[in-house]
Amino acid sequence: MNVPDTTMQTAAHDSAAEGYNFAYLDEQTKRMIRRALLKAVAVPGYQVPFASREMPLPYGWGTGGIQVTASIIGRDDTLKVIDQGSDETTNAVNIRRFFARTTGVNTTRKTSEATIVQTRHRIPETPLTDKQILVYQVPMPEPLYRLEPRTAECKKLHALADYGLISVKLYEDIVHHGSIATTYDYPVIVNGRYLASPSPIPKYDNPKMHMNPALQLFGAGREQRIHAIPPFTPVKSLDFDDHPFEVQRWDHACALCGSTDSFLDEMIVDDAGKRMFVCSDSDYCHDRREQQGTENSEGESA
C-alpha cells in the first residue's frame, strides 16, 4: 500500500471529516496496526494482540475491520464494503460512507474492481485475485471461546497446539445429531498449525479461504486481536475421516439470477409465509442478471 499523506482530498459532503487524519486514525496508530498485521502475516492464523482504538462506530459493528482497512488504505485504492454479502445493507453503506468521507478514495460495488474488500459474514462469490485484500470484521477471534472462555488458558492451548477440546465438541455433535452442527464460524486450521476462527462466514465459504490468491486479514476491535491468512496458504476446515467436511446445499436456484452455485438468502415475501431464495452476494447476482440482460434483451432489470 502506498503511504497516505495527511491532506484531505475531497471537499464534498465531508465537513465532519475536517480536522481528522486521512482514514481517521493518526499515523502512529496506523503504524502500530501495520506492525501487528505484519506479525499476523508472518505467523498465519496466530492471533496478534493490538491496541485497538475506540472508533466512531460501535464495537461489534466492524471496528476491527475498519481499523485494519484504515491502516492499509491508500489514495489509489478502491474500496468495496459488504455486509451479509450485500453492498446495500445499512451497516455496509455506513462503513463505505465513513471511508469515502475520511479518505475520499473511490468506492465500488464490483468485486473485480476493488483493491480492498471489507466484509462481514461472507466471502464474495467472484474469485479474488492476488491484487486484492479481503478484510474481515471479526466479533470473536478465539475459536475456543465457547469451550474455554479464559483467554489466558486459550493462549496456552494454542501454544501447545492442543486442540483436543474442539475435536471432542465436533465428535459430540456427531453423536447427538449425526453430523457436525456448526454451520457458520466453522473452525479451520491455518497452514497446518493454528486453529483459527474464519469469523461468522457460513461454512459454505470456508473452502474459498484455502489457497486463496488474495491476502486475508481479520480484525477484531473489541477483542483487540488481528490474525491473517497470507495468499496461497492452506486452510483446512476441521473434520473426521468418516465425517468429511461438507457445505450447505440448496434445493432452489436464485429467484433473480437463477444461480445454483451461490449462497442463497431466504426471504419471506407474504403473510402466508411464501418464500423466495436469492443470492446473498448482491454484486454477483446483479452481474449475472446484467449478462443475462445483454444475452436476451427482455431480461429483467433490477
Partner 1 sequence: MYVAVKGGERAIEASWRLLDKARRGDTQFAELSVAQIRTQLRLAVARVMTEGSVYDEELAALAIKQAAGDLVEAIFLLRAYRTTLPRFGYTQPVDTEDMRIERRISATFKDVPGGQMLGATYDYTQRLLDFTLLAQGDGESALNVKRTEPAAQDAMPRVVSLLDKEGLIEQERVSEDAPEPGDLSREPLSFPASRATRLQNLARGDEGFLLAMGYATQRGYAHSHPFAGEIRFGTVAVEMELDELGVAVEIGEIDVTECQMINQFAGSSEVPPTFTQGYGLAFGHSERKAMAMALVDRALRAEELGETIGSPTQDVEFMLSHSDNVEASGFVQHLKLPHYVDFQSELELVRRLRAKHAARDDDNDQQEQAA
Q: Which of 154, 178, 254, 293 is catalytic?
A: 254
Alpha-carbon distances, residue 219 vs 65, 66, 175 (angstroms): 5, 8, 34
User: Cβ(44)–Cβ(210) under 8 Å?
Assistant: no
Cell numbers describing residue 17: 471529516
In the residue annotation, 164 being an active-site residue is answered as no
Distance of CA 23 to the CA centre of its chain: 19
Interacting residue ranges for partner 1, rule: CB under 8 A: 20-21, 24-26, 29, 49-56, 58-61, 63, 83-86, 88-94, 97, 120-122, 139, 150-152, 177-179, 181, 183-185, 200-204, 222, 224-225, 248, 250, 255-256, 263-267, 269, 276, 278, 280, 282, 302
Closer residue to partner 1 in complex, CB, 152/160: 152
Closer residue to partner 1 in complex, CB, 103/233: 103
| Best CA proximity match to 257, nearest among 239, 238, 283 | 283
E strand residue ranges, the chain: 48-49, 78-83, 106-107, 116-120, 133-137, 188-190, 194-196, 215-220, 225-229, 235-237, 264-268, 275-279
Shortest distance, position 278 Cβ to partner 1, whole Å:
7
Q: Report the alpha-carbon distance of residue 169 to residue 166 in Å, rounded.
A: 5
Shortest distance, position 24 Cβ to partner 1, whole Å:
7
Closer residue to partner 1 in complex, CB, 163/263: 263
User: Which residue type is seen at 298?
Assistant: E
Closer residue to partner 1 in complex, CB, 163/204: 204
Shortest distance, position 253 Cβ to partner 1, whole Å:
15
Q: Which of 45, 64, 219, 221 is catalytic?
A: 45
Residue 141 neighbours by CB under 8 Å, 6+ apart: 47, 196, 197, 218, 220, 223, 225, 227
Shortest distance, position 256 Cβ to partner 1, whole Å:
7
Q: Report the alpha-carbon distance of residue 104 to residue 106 in Å, rounded.
A: 7
Q: Which of 104, 221, 285, 299 is catalytic?
A: 285
Q: Report the alpha-carbon distance of residue 29 to residue 200 in Å, rounded.
A: 27
In the residue annotation, 293 being an active-site residue is answered as no
Q: Which of 65, 219, 221, 257 is catalytic?
A: 257
Closer residue to partner 1 in complex, CB, 20/165: 20
In the residue annotation, 154 being an active-site residue is answered as no
In the residue annotation, 45 being an active-site residue is answered as yes
Active site members:
45, 254, 257, 279, 285
